[in-house]
Structure 1
Amino acid sequence: MLALAGCVDLPQPYRGRPGGQAQVLAIPLAIRIAVPPPEQALLGNAQATDFAAALVAALQTEDVPVIASATPLPLDWLVEITADRQGQGRGETVRPRFRLLDADRKPQATTEGKPIPLEDWANADRALFDQVARENGPKLTQLLLQVEAARKSTDPASLTAGPPRLYMLGVLGAPGDGNASLGARMKEQLGGQGFVVQDSAEGASYGLQADVAVVPAGTRGVERVEIIWIVSRRDGEELGRVVQMNEVPAGRLNRLWGDIAYVAANEAADGVKTVVANALQAPPATSDAPKPTVPAVGGVPAPPPAATLTAPPVLPPLR
């Protein structure tokens, strides 16, 4: 079984190190990203070149196929960098912005960095550009994954039309902000895995819901947390479950879940991906026997799970 993460002040061995498979991006090798030196970022020519190089280095650490080039090839995607001034007087700042353009130079996604004091930006060196790039590289990588997954999923001519669309039905039963936090973090994690996650059933191939229970444990002052992620097919057939269990101090989750929701979703997302992968690889049924009627996505899933997961080791109980 997959285990819940520890509290903020406890060891969290998987934080920042989700495993090799989770770091492999779903980006076809045919797509290359080019980062031209920005012409509208309030920088000199040498600074612009350094900024582009810093962003390329940050994206390469995320395994993105990217180069710094003032003359991108016709089929290259682009990261367009701009910056604008905000505020007045001594509080004036510069906010860098990043826009992802496809090969047709059509905008696909945008993100922005933290504001930087105008004086620091005017005198920016490679160290500052490296810092900005490290902060925004992962955000650009996430956007690229989501854009590419959506693009591939709309190509009916492709036998590998990209990751399937998954309908996120929601999380039920968690105290505090657990329902919202777990749902939001799971959307982020699955998006990072290359899924197209949506809030409606239209066009979805799979459904995902979670049931949470917090009950007294055998030890006084300790509660047991159980999270069950249920993956179902569009016709309602249950494909598998990812189960997480751990113990927390009583009342710990009555308000904010915080890091626990993040790491719980991070660990469970790999299990959800495994269930869907098993379903995609399953051979077609050949039996002529009638199948029992099952409800559609959003209803009660059929009881027996069709996938068995090999889960990572359980983390130590929370203290």
Structure 2
Amino acid sequence: MSSPSRRLLLLAPLALAACTGLPQPFRGRPGAVARRLRMPPGYRVAVPNSTQLLLTDADSASLSRALAEALVANEVPAVAGPALPLDWQLVLAAEREGGQVVPRYALRDADGRALGMLVGQPVPARDWAEGGEALHARISGEVAPQLATLVGRIDAQRRTGDERASGSGPPVLRLLPVRGAPGDGNRSLTARMRDSLAGLGFRVQEEAEGAQFAVQGEVTMAPSGRGQQRVEIVWVVSRRDGEDLGRVLQLNEVPTGTLGGLWGDVAYVVAEEASGGIRDVVFNAGGFPTAATPGPTAATPGASPAAAPAP
């Protein structure tokens, strides 16, 4: 495998602050309660399309969009569509009861555990079948305040007494299994990345509960001609409120079939190089205490897919 030219492009938002010339005696000393309240929301709710709504796919998608918009209007971070690794999910279903259809809303955390459920107002079966954006907006507007109350109560309970919620201690990161690698790459890359991130000061776990950040790695292999394969590894860093904080992209070409078996030292070097980029993304997002300024990423000899700018 050829020596990589190691380049990392970290895409992270810049925090902009503005202040006035007025005295600010409490600046930098918000107190324990304020530290909790100033954090990003401890959740984001994804509303995926459901096949249990007695609706067409198009109407199911329309209802998901309307419900996500109604939740946002009620100050709940929400999005229609598939969930990110740390998202809560609002699972929709409907049951026919005589001449009416009763919608049901089940709230689950990112690990799939039930958090709560609401039963919506019955809708005449004919109106439900006809669907339409106006109906979906009305249904969503009726139930969104109740859902917002449910979500807010659960989030408040989870924040209370949890020292990690105030930003103390090491950042807690959920590492999902790597996907798409041939051979034993998924297992080896996941294991090596877990070790590398732990060595950089993260508390790494598999479950979503208690995690502030998540990392998902995906490997893509494609022929590149003349007996070579293009290897692309993307590490996506996201936050509990659903924001995509940044990506670390590693690229290289290897002889065809090189990575079809054991990854061995290749997985170790890939993880060592990419973990430094992941740490920097989290640091730029405020995930480490101020004193824990990350140092330079250690260069490790050996061959690995090289880090390159994300498209």
TM range (shorter): 0.3 to 0.5
TM-score by length of 1: 0.39
TM-score by length of 2: 0.40
